[in-house]
Structure formats: C-alpha cells, structure tokens
Amino acid sequence: MSAKSYNTVSLIAKKRDGKILERPEISHLVEQYTRDKMPDYQMSAFLMAAFLNGLNEEEASGLTHAMLHSGRVLDLGDIPGKKVDKHSTGGVGDKLSLILAPIVASYGIPVPMISGRGLGHTGGTLDKLESIPGFSVDMTLERYREVLSTCGMVMAGQTEEVAPADKRLYALRDVTATVESVPLIASSIMSKKLAEGIDALVLDVKFGSGAFMKTPEEAQQLAETLVAIGDDFGKETIAYLTDMNQPLGYKIGNWLEVEEAMEGLQDRGPEDVMQVTHVLAGTMIMLGGKAETVEEGIERSKEAVGNGQAYDKWLEVTEAQGGDAAVLGNYESYPKAKYQFDIEAPESGYLSATDAYKIGAASLELGAGRKTKEDRVDPAAGIELKHKGGDPVKKGETLAVGFTNNKEAIEIAGDAMRDAFVITPEKGEKPELITHRVDRAGTHKI
C-alpha cells in the first residue's frame, strides 16, 4: 500500500508538464495500475508523458523499484556463491546466452537466468531453448531454485510472480507507441533482472541496423542508465556496447542457433560469436570472484570451452530441464524444414555488408519469429549465411540458404535477403565488434 494517497490525474499532469516525480509518486501509479485501480487510458497518458519528457536517473530507479516490488523478489542467499547474470538488448543471430551461461556455471558461479521470447526481427532465448525437444522453460519459482541449486544455472521464462507490473506495462507500451524510451526500456530490463535474486549483472547493449538502439550514442545512453540503476540497487553492473549491423555468427533461427551454440561450446564456434561470448563470460567470471581481472576471466572462459567442462554443464542443465540431450550431438536426427533455397551473389567482389535488420526480417517471414503474439514459431525455419563481411565472393556463389515450412514465404523472404547483401569492388574495413565498456566509473573506449 502507498504510505500516502495521491491524485492520479495530478501526477500525470506533473509529468506532462516536464516536472520530476518523487519515488512514492511513481510507486503510487504503478501500484494503482497493477491492482486494477487505474485504467489503461490513464497509464497510457503517463507513459506518453514520460516518453516525451523523459525520466531522470532517480525517476528511472524509482520506476524500477516499483515494478520490481509488484511481485516476488527471489532471495537466493541460501545458494552458495555470488549470483551473476547477463542480459542482451536483442539482436540477430544472438545465441550468446546458450554458450556463456554454462561456461560461467562450470566454475561454480550460479547463473539464474530469466529470459524473454523473440521481439520483432530479433530472436528470443526462450524460443531457441524450446526448439530443443522436451526442454521446459515454464516452471514455478520453487522449481527454478531447485534447478539452480542442482546445476548451478537455470534458464527460465518470466512467471506471473516476477515483476507483473512490467509485463502489463510492456504490453501497454507496445500498443501506445511508447516502446523506444531509454528510461522505460532500462526500468523494464532491470526490474526483471533484479527480481531473479542476482548479485551482479553483465549487459550486452547492441547498436546498429539489427538492434533496437540504432546508433552508438543511443546505446551508450541506455547502457549508462542501466548501470546507474544497477548501482543504485547495490548490484555490480557492467555493460558493453556491441555492433549489431551484421548478424552474429552464420546461423539465424531457433534450432539453427542452437546448433551454432553447441559448436561454440565445443570450440568450433564462429570468431565473432566467440569473441563477444568470451568478453561477456570473462566479465561474469570476474564478477563471480573466480578471476582477478576481466582479462583473466576471458582466459578462463576459453579454458572452459577448450577442456569440455562448459559443454558438459550444458548437457547437465538440458537434462535437468527435460531436454533431449541426445539430439544435441546428432543434428541429422532433427526434423528439417520442408523447403530450402539459395541466395546467390549477383556479381563478384567483396561482401562489404550484411544488413542485420533485413536478415532478421527475412527470418521472421520464414517462420522463425512472431508477427503477432498468437503466431507459432517454427523451430526449423531460418537462414544460414555462407559468407561474412569482408569475404571475397564470385558471381553465382551462394551467399545464404533459407529454410522454411511455408512455401508462400519464400518470395518475400528471398527479396529481403537479397537486399541485405552489399557487394563492392574493394574490401572494406572490418568494424569493431565491441566498442565501449560502461561501469560505475564511466564509459571507456575499448
């Protein structure tokens, strides 16, 4: 209950006029809405006022606190070790969680991970996990604790008990054009992450065509807000800015990305995927107290992949969550998409760019994502790239292969894929994958 009664209309007007809301005032709005004492149209008005006038760091922290405490906040104090998680703001081909969580957990650092589903052109960790036959991501908080205690890691979906206000507010933001707000995005992310019972958090904040933040400047603003909120809650929080103008890895689509994640865990992963994975995992290992520096953590991350301990941990958690571990070692047994088609290079030269957004949108058309909440994801649908930026290509050579069970999607998806590739006579410069680190001391160029 709010300690003091407030006039909801007055609070909306206060934000509309660009004034700063106090933490109890924000708590009142969230509490009233969560308890069905405030209608959608009033919360929509507040969200639009916040979207247009912004929220400062104290307001963003207050909104996070209100959403966090709208449901259960897990206390994992009885589980030994410093609990560390990672969150990505979403990208194309981003299967990093499936690789880094078992790497970190293999060192005895508990990784409690509550993940999300695909959003628009970006894939979701839960959809990838559910492409593994039998793998269950829907579980009670009691079962969540049990798997974490037994395996040292758990990968689950958000329950009704965790930050229910965020779930309702996000659904409202989605239909009121108030999604692309840095403080609203930051509060949404952090309320869910803090509810997990973590002690520290590593964030992968992406920018570029395949990300929600299109410019490095937008990504930096979001990263700094996320780190400030984490710091305010007494959680060690480190963020990295990473380039998402080109898809990560070669495989895009739920089961295809599981395949590539398993290759990564067996030291056969693509260079770009493993570079970002090792930096994020190394930072988590450092925060978890198993390395003195990030650099040492990166070396330990590489060791865990090289000696097989990370892959063994992945098989352990797969079986604990009901997944068929046998299929992970035998891709040929997995049901294939009914249709596959090639996209060929129209000319010779160098592949200077592969637009991540267009590849993500094509993958969505093929069935790898959802256009509406009711859509079913096809785990076998997706795209396999045959070349990355900077590669030489010859006219007629295959640039990518599309997979789908929906024949009607081939034409639209094929056009999007063709538009994604830019071939030039000269070889372009390779962009830096990780550009900045953001922590409580500030933003540092890498």
Q: What positions carry a catalytic annotation? A: 87, 166, 173, 188, 192
Tokens in use for 339? 């249709």
Tokens in use for 435? 């550009």
Is the dihedral angle over the CA atoms 56, 57, 59, 60 positive or is it negative?
positive
| C-alpha to C-alpha distance for 104 and 111, rounded to whole angstroms | 7
Q: Do the strands 153-157 and 111-115 form a parallel or antiparallel pair, or are they unpaired?
A: parallel
**Range list of β-strands (E), 35-140:** 84-88, 111-115
| C-alpha to C-alpha distance for 254 and 256, rounded to whole angstroms | 5
Whether residue 205 contacts residue 87, with contact meaning beta carbons closer than 8 Å, is answered with no
- Nearest residue to 258 via CA among 308, 343, 323: 323
Indicate the SS3 state at residue 152: coil
**Per-residue three-class SS string for 376-389:** CCCCCCEEEECCCC
- Nearest residue to 134 via CA among 375, 315, 318: 318
The whole-angstrom distance between residue 345's C-alpha and the CA centroid of its chain comes to: 31
CA dihedral 141, 142, 143, 145 (to 10 degrees): 80
- The phi and psi torsions of 237 (rounded to 5 degrees) equal -130, 125
Q: Do the strands 434-439 and 236-243 form a parallel or antiparallel pair, or are they unpaired?
A: antiparallel
Q: Which amino acid is at 207?
A: F
Spell out the residues 6+ positions from residue 42 whose beta carbon is closer than 8 angstroms to its own.
Answer: 8, 9, 12, 33
- The phi and psi torsions of 383 (rounded to 5 degrees) equal -140, 140
Indicate the SS3 state at residue 445: strand
Whether residue 222 contacts residue 185, with contact meaning beta carbons closer than 8 Å, is answered with yes
- Nearest residue to 379 via CA among 114, 99, 118: 118
| C-alpha to C-alpha distance for 422 and 445, rounded to whole angstroms | 28
